[in-house]
Amino acid sequence: MDNLKLLGVTIDSKLNFTDHVSSICKKASQTIGVLVRLGNLIPTKAKLVLFKSAVLPYLTYCHLVWHFCKSSDARKLERLQERGLRAVYRDKHESYSKLLKRAELPILMNRRLQDICIPMYKLKHKLCPTYISNIFNDHNSSYFLRQSDFSNPCYNTVTYGKHSLRYLGPRLWGKLSSDVRSAKNLNTFKNKIRKCDVSSLVNDGYKGCSLGSS
């Protein structure tokens, strides 16, 4: 069997999630088509609500599972979100960044990275079950990240090591500001992390360690 669908996520034998990304792009594209046809029939605010409730869930459902998809697939998802926002605002010329600002949304990659940081906070404060915390407790690790609460495992390959939450989670946590990491509770941390451009913290070699090859 080359593919297995589990709880709505298509898992392929190579774990590149291309089939899954293609599937969600098709579903989201159909809904965006409805927004395009609505045109001026409903207010922009209503179309934005429809986009966030009927399109965005396709693009973010279980996204920590398939975060390490091909970079070409990640770009495909970003283009789809851009297309959806252009349908909402009926604007063909505004830049993607300005459309995101109007909609008060981050790029999809940044949203995924923010969501990776949330379980790291839970791990630090022992809010996760043991079977989750054991994934990150590597007693054989050779060193610890500076200003981090987690060990950083060493891998000899990119594909079968650095393309994992076990590697990326501690790396992201170590790069967050102390103000964010020291949040007093989970809700406060979530509010702070949603305001962070986490993708800017991992630009150094990020392509090679998280998105995979295109």
pLDDT tens digits, residue range 173-205?
Answer: 989 999 999 999 999 999 999 999 999 887 644
What pLDDT score was predicted for residue 148? 56
Determine the longest span between alpha carbons in the chain, in angstroms: 61
Distance between start and end Cα atoms, the chain: 24
Q: In residues, how long is the chain?
A: 214
For residue 30, give both structure tokens: 């159909």
What pLDDT score was predicted for residue 167? 85
pLDDT tens digits, residue range 75-97?
Answer: 999 999 999 999 999 999 999 99
Low-confidence ranges of the chain (pLDDT < 70): 1, 137-148, 151-161, 203-214
Separation of alpha carbons 66 and 74, rounded Å: 10
